[in-house]
Structure 1
């Protein structure tokens, strides 16, 4: 473990820095078991195939429409920022679809919630209805 890593726990959705590694490890294990690290999780179901248009366009669109998409936002428990700016304590990941492997980081629960909903909205709007 990197000794410079800053570990955080959540207290009523507020990140609290802790110097006590054992306290952090116990809290982290319990939060994984109880699911309390999850800010939001959204599954966007696969869509029906699109049938009108050129063959190339249909193939491209349907490639993404055929996959369900999972958008997950969690509390990381550690500051994962690369710079000395605001800590990256929360992360949204996209699994599947056009935005597969996209991720965004946030410093607070509130920003993570807003970011999660913005990403879900962006994905939903990008899908051809």
Structure 2
């Protein structure tokens, strides 16, 4: 499934702070921790806990969030389908980065080992 311009615009303006509690809830419901969630976010973006909190406090959009991130070079190893989209086929860079994050959080919630989630070649 290809993303539409409308979908990409929705992703661009979505607020990180409004989605973050859902991330926490999703992983905790499956027995994982907020600390593990932060490990995953840190790996993908380079953000530490204080930067994650700053993004929440600023009510940053996903566009702001990923503009300030230093994407992990191994992020391109994240493949598969998430939210009905094959990550490798997404041509909008911001939408692809958001789906990277969604995929990592999904893997965390499904109980995948951290070493596998953090793709170390």
User: Do the two structures share a fold, i.e. TM-score over 0.5?
Assistant: no
> Which of the pair is proportionally richer in helix?
2
Max radius of gyration: which structure?
1
Structure of greater relative contact order (alpha carbons < 8 Å, 6+ residues apart): 2
> Which of the pair is proportionally richer in strand?
1
| TM-score, normalisation: structure 1 | 0.27
